Every structure is written in structure tokens, then in C-alpha cells.
Structure 1
């Protein structure tokens, strides 16, 4: 492959754009379930780069010499390369590279990631240029994960083979598949908001939706029995559609313990009870940790059932009890749309759900802060459809969002946040 140049990216010419349309249609014919991704990629010309690459924002950097002209790939080969580069984005190789022991070898990761992709493409009958990396070529088994290939390649490396981490995908100077594959950026890589032919880069949220649409199409294709869907691609689709999740109650217990531990660790010195360790002529203070007080604010106008509300609350109270926090050191408040003033209750079972929405949980958090003595930790149990305070309250804030994962992304940065699925109380 040729060495990368410093040529800056530019829009495709009319001839290049027409050739790219043909290549994209060929790629679609080979792997029709990739349609949502193939038609979302934003092509950019990088003359002299020597290969094709992607960035994190779904821009495809194309060396036009491989698209048109005497040295161009065939339409089927170019279509296969297009599917290859799309796979780097689908399989989030850039994010996965961050999980490798740092600093990682860009050249080795490029081989590992390419091998993870290419065996699936070849199994699906996709045509690729001669000499592409496969698991067999690097001494590994087919249909494995890039992380496993990377580890085996690193183990096989000679100690004097050179170190990497900051070069291009091949630290020897060869061009790589770009930042979208977890490698060095293409020379002159465009910023996210830069528009090419009126189209800006695709953000993470939109990219996630595209991945899901493709995963659903792959699953449907595998279920229909038409064509060949490689095993590695089916495994990827299943991972997207049924991602592994840490049990919500474990996350909630962890966050509650964290908030309590942070507060309990605020040790103060006091002369009320002098230290038993004294020096001649000196009276030394003793250290005293606070007896942690917790306020729990329940959103009783939220669109959730009693079972949902009590599911989160039971986990919270279990953690507090194990930490020795109970009795008058735990205060329950309810906050709803009908009453502007939060109500103090003795038992969670006495909370009355008023229905509807529109509760401003800032009022409940402020009421908890105004308690005397004030709490050290305030835990809010809500469906999250509420405004949140702009500033951190005096107490450490824990937000428990029930049945609304999207709302969990809108809680303030100074809060600890956990989500509880709807129906968990059942």
C-alpha cells in the first residue's frame, strides 16, 4: 500500500461521486441488511492516502485513485471495502480500543480489527481486494473477537519489533482505517460539525440508532433463511439487540453505598470528647464521624405504579439498614403535582400516588435540604420527567429513575444516577 500524504480532504468530484454511487449499490446488493449504514456514510476524497478509512462521525475518507482510474478497485472489490469500513463503525472498534492495555499498538489493533471483520465478509460471499487480513493469515481461528486476536498478536511480537501507540494504524507508516476504527486520524480529518456537500458528521446517538436498525435487519435476514448471514455478524446483532446489563438493584445499592460512604468519611475534630492519646501539656481533640442522615423524596405524581416506587425504595432502605441508618435518621417526603408543599410520611406504604405529571422535584429536593437537622444524603425516586436543580444541594444527591432510561441521561452531573426498570416491583 502507498504511504499516506498530507493532502487535505475535499468533496468528491462529479465523476467520483457517480462512481461512488455505483459502488454503494454493489455493496447493498452484496449485503442488503447494511442499507441504513451504507446510505448514511458521508464520502470525502483524500487523494494519495492509499486506502479508505472512516472517522468517528461516519465520514468515509476515499483515495479517489482506488475509486476511478487505471489503479481503481473493481466495483465489487470497492463495495467489499465499503462494507469493511462500515463494520469498523458498527462494531465500535474505536471505543473497544480504549479498553485495551494502554498505550496500545495501533498497527496490531488494525490487524486484529480487520481480521474480525474480513472473515465474516468473505463467508457472506463479499469480494475483497487481494491480500486482505484474515484470522488464518495471522494464525488465529475464524469468527473470533478483535481483542483476542490483538492479545495473541502482541504475545507473538518480538521484543525488538518496535513500540507503538501514537503512529498510524501501521506504525511503519502505512495508512490505516482512521479514528473510527480506533486508529490514528486520517491526515486533515474533519471536525464533527464540518459539513461536506451540506452534510455534517453523524453524532453518537444517531449512530446508535443506525446500528440498531442494521442489527434488526441482520436478525430478520438470518431468520428468513434467505442468503448467508455469517455467524460473527449474527453474534454482533444479538449483542446490539440484547446488550448485557448489570442488574439494576446492584447498581442502585452501589450508588447508595457510595453516597453514604462519602458522607461518613467526612471526619471532624472535636474537643467535646478529648482524644485518649494525649501529649504532656496538650489536650488533643478526638475525631468524630457524622451520624449520617438521609432524606428520601418520593415522586408520587409520576407515571409509575406503587410496585415500581416501592421496588427502588426497598433496595435503598436495605442499604441504609445495613449501614446502620434507620429510625429518625431516615426521613420520607412525598412530592406531587397537586400539593405544592412536600408531605412528610412515616412509612412508604402510606404514600398516595396522585397520578399525572408535571411535578417539579426541585421543590422536593429543596424541602429535604430545609429539614432540621438537614440530611447528608438526599435520594430522589422519580420517573425523571421533571426539572432538576442547576446547583448541587447541600446534601449528596442520588437520583433513582424508574422506568425511563432516557430521562436518566438528563439528571445533573453532580448527582449519582441509577435506573430501575418499570415493573421491577412485581
Structure 2
């Protein structure tokens, strides 16, 4: 490990500089364990919070930026995520570097990709299909080395919560959003969805009406009277099939809805797929069997209008939220399964679906 002392001196100076620039990340910066390798380049972390350093004379300013970048990967759980490594590396870097000033000329940023700022890695990952990444940009590929596990999973979780609790309004938007997701109590979206659907079905099934299909047993002077009936609640599922929504995500939520409806004894389900226009209604006995048609732009107002014509009691909408919404509240009880963090109308009951 020749040159280890000078490398460690630069690391100590860079860590202090990074902590000064982002004091809310100081505890994470000082949780890194530096390891020097002859064949390593720059600074790169592994999932065990080891920072692998090369012997090259990296300037302190550049190393400080790298430390903040690596801590961003660690705290946000990026390392080891995604099957198509290079593409996920680019998406992760775009999310992190959006909040970091002074990025090196070859670093990936949303601006250099020609993409909007303030998005999550999953959103950048999807948008990469629409662009050509400039060849001069180099995404962080992760450490080629793995060091010892210096912290348990519980200790890493406690560290993340401690960092999140220090983040205030002066921190960049991406860090504030991350802190909120860590500190906000998270209920399993499947449990929330099931509760909302069952509540909507229960309220709808409480309605009664008169029908001559099964005449009343009462006989009043030879007059046939209608009997009270309890109609089966009508459920319509509105599916956003625009190009911005992935089929695996839709299939996952459809599977959950299918299980909930079957458990509630609901028979036929009517499904409306919608991108910029509503497609023909599909009547299926299992929501999971729906044929997803579409792939264009997004305007769910057309889908809501088509669903309204079916007069549902409960309307379940699956969408990433990147759509205009109807101005007026539908007569049905509306449950929105939201695949991305976006604004929704005040009249909708919202379930935020975890990625």
C-alpha cells in the first residue's frame, strides 16, 4: 500500500471539506471506512460502507465531491440495484448529482442528459429510453472491491434515520424528499389498498332498491309488489397505459386488485385502458387477465368519461399521475393507485404504490 499515508491525508481533508459543505451528511461521511488499493482509481464505495481509494493524487476538492456522491449512493440504497447495471448507474447518478454542485466534466447530471431535474432514479431510468447518453459522460460503476461488513443492517438503518433527522429546509430538494421518505411512517400499500377497496364495496353494497325480478311475498289485494334487493357493487378499473407507465408495474397492481376483489366476492370486473384516448371496455372475471392496450400520450380525462358511462360504484385508477385530471368529482368512489409522486385531485383516495 505505497503512498497510503498521503492518500489518507487527502481523504481526511476531503472528508472535512465535504462535511462543511453538507453538514447534514457529516455522520454518514465519518461512517465511511477508507481502504487504500494500489489498483483502485479515485474513490468508490461498496455496500458495506467501505470507501476504496486509489493511490493517485486526486485533488482534495474533487475527492470531497466524490465523497458526497458516494454517500448519496449508500444512503439511498442504490448499490446493487438493477439488472442492467450501466443504465441504472446512469439513472442513479442523475438523481444524486442533481443535488451536487461542482460536478466534474464527465459526471452524469440531468442537465447534461437533457432531462428535467428533480426526478427519482426510476424515472430517469425510464427516460433513458428516449435519449442518447452523451459518450463523454461516465456513470459511477460501483466498487470492484468488497470490504468487510463494518455495520449491521440495523446500524445502517439507524444511521440513515439519524442523517434524515438532521436534514432541514436549506438542504437540496432531493435530500429533503429522501429524508421525508425515511422518517414518514410507511404503511404497506397493499394493506391500504385492500382497506379502501373493501370500504368502498361495503358502502356500495349497503344501497338497496326495489325490483320486480323477484316479486315481494306480500300480496295486497292482488297487486304484485316489488321486493327490496341489494345489488352487487359495480367495479371499474381505469388503467393508464400511456408510454410513461411500465407494464410490469401495472401487472403487479392489477394482481393485487384481482386478489382483493376475489376475496370480496366480486364477480365480473370492467376495465378501461386509456392513454390519450379511452379504449374499448374489457369485461373480465379476473383483473389480472386484462389486455393492456395503448402506449401513446396521457389524458385520463377520456378514461374517466368512459368509466362514468358504466355507472360504477367503485372506480379504481392505476396511473403514474402524469395526466390532466377531471375538474369535477366523479359520482363513484375513486381510489387512485399512484405509481409516482405527483399531485392528485382532492376528491381521490390515494394509495402510493411502492416501487
TM-score (norm 1): 0.42
Greater C-alpha Rg: 1
